[in-house]
Amino acid sequence: MLPLDKLRSLVKRHEEVEELLCDPAVFADPRKLNSLNRERSQLTPIVEAMNRFEAIERRIADDREALDDPELGPIAREEIQSLEHERGEVEARLRVLLLPRDPNDDKNTILEIRGGTGGEEAALFAADLFRMYSRYAERRGWRVEILSSSEAAAGGLKELIALVTGERVYSRLKHESGVHRVQRVPATEAQGRIHTSTATVAVLPEAEDVDVTIDERDLKVDIAASGGPGGQGVNTTNSAVQITHIPSGIVVKCQDERSQLKNRAKAMKILKSRLLDIEQQKQAEALRDERRGMVKAGDRSEKIRTYNFPQNRLSDHRIGLTLYELDRVMDGDLEQLIDALGTFYQAKELEESP
């Protein structure tokens, strides 16, 4: 049974929010305005589904009154069957809409990709994964900003950290964390043998100042000359910043910018997101709620997906999904895969909900 009292209270709250959004005082407070707009956008789908549910209930009640009519009875009986089917679909949608929202779903994301086992081929695969996510971000109108990167000798990526900004980024990418395995013939393989390599992906919600508080006394900041590509200007200025968070032992280094201040700001953004991730893991373990944990250490050590290039096959081992269109996936066509993951974890939440 649907919690109708709760649904009606949400409909009432939607009406209150609509009234508040017409208040001139709200327009003078940007933070309040943004908060109410977000609340309205979250409540609107529930209100629309609830309105449809009640409309169906009224039509079913009217049709049942007509069942004894010799002429209208057969028509009413057929319509009731169709309406009951639609009512079931609307009920299912309302149950999904009532699931607890992940508070991080609307946040931007820190995307970390690292080459794993497999040497240079792993680094090349890490670069391919970054291109895949960048193409996906482009399709969705998101912005990708590289915060830190380290290239391998063969042109791949030892490590890359990027900030992805846009609408509901974390909601779409949060199930990408884990070990990604690739099976293909490396360009350097003379005899055409298939090699297996891995890369790791971590997806962290961007930490806001209200999420994480860092005591400056807990930081050790080192400044050095930037290395690697970038031209004479980068190599001769002391712009590289390495920040060590003493309590946790986390070390973050940024050297992509010529400005020391910009590198420090990027390093702090990464550090805050990693500290937020650690805190959320602790909370998840305390609640024994693995499903709603943000990014678990166990997830990162588990092979979540295999990319088999010779067979143009992608397999996601968590949900048993196999797609024979790996070329499209690697070009950023991730919608089907990410939708399937969302549906799978949503179904798990429904099973676990009271």
Residue 146 within any structural domain of the chain: yes
Q: Residue 285 has what pLDDT?
A: 65
Q: What pLDDT sits at residue 42? A: 86
Please indicate, yes or no, if residue 102 is contained in any of the structural domains.
no
In this structure, is residue 141 part of a structural domain?
A: yes
How high is the pLDDT of residue 295? Answer: 34
Judge if 180 and 78 occupy the same domain. no
Q: How far apart are CA 306 and CA 183, in angstroms?
A: 7
In this structure, are strands 143-151 and 219-224 parallel, antiparallel, or unpaired?
Answer: unpaired
204: nearest Cα among 264, 147, 161, 260: 161
My answer on whether 81 and 113 are in the same domain is: no
Q: Is residue 210 part of a domain?
A: no
CA 227/CA 235 separation, integer angstroms = 6
Distance CA 270, CA 256 (A): 14
Q: Which residues pair with residue 200 across a beta bridge?
A: 114, 179
183 with 115, same domain?
Answer: yes
Concatenating the DSSP letter of every residue in 59-127 gives: HHHHHHHTTT-TTTHHHHHHHHHHHHHHHHHHHHHHHHHTSPPPTTTTS-EEEEEEE-SSHHHHHHHHH
Those residues of the chain that have pLDDT short of 70 are: 188, 190, 208-211, 226-237, 283-302, 353-354
Termini Cα distance of the chain = 11
Report CA torsion sign: 110, 111, 117, 120.
negative
> Does 57 lie in the same domain as 167?
no
CATH for 78: 1.20.58
| Beta-carbon count within 10 A of 197 CB | 23
Instruction: Give percent above pLDDT 90 in the chain.
Output: 48
- Domain extent for 20: 4-97
| Residue 42 in domain | yes
Q: Is residue 206 part of a domain?
A: no
Q: Which amino acid is at 324?
A: Y
Taking the C-alpha atoms of residue 94 and residue 259, their distance in angstroms, rounded to an integer, is: 50
* Helices 30-65 and 4-20, axial angle in degrees (round to 10): 140
Q: Are residues 197 and 299 in the same domain?
A: yes
> What DSSP assignment string belongs to 265-325?
HHHHHHHHHHHHHHHHHHHHHHHT-TTT-SS-HHHHHSEEEEEETTTTEEEETTTTEEES-
Q: What pLDDT, on a 0 to 100 scale, did the predictor assign at position 283?
A: 63
pLDDT at 302: 65
| Tens-digit pLDDT profile for residues 221-280 | 888 776 654 444 444 567 888 989 988 889 988 887 778 888 888 888 888 888 888 877
Instruction: State CA 203 to chain mean position distance.
Output: 7
pLDDT tens-digit readout, 109-133: 999 999 998 888 999 999 999 999 9
Residues 164 and 313 reside in one and the same domain:
yes
- Report the C-alpha gap between 324 and 314 in whole angstroms: 6
Element housing 222 (H / E): strand 219-224
In a domain, 299, yes or no: yes
Residues 6+ apart with CB under 8 A from 147: 110, 161, 162, 163, 254, 256, 266, 269, 270
How many domains, in total, are found in the chain? 3
Whether 244 and 301 map to the same domain: the answer is no
Q: List Cβ neighbours of 265 (8 Å cut-off, separation of 6 or more).
A: none
Q: Which long-range CB contacts under 8 A does 60-68 form with residues at least 24 apart? A: 60/84, 60/87
Phi/psi of residue 288, nearest 5 degrees: 50, 45
CATH of the domain at 235: 3.30.160.20
Same domain, 182 and 240: no
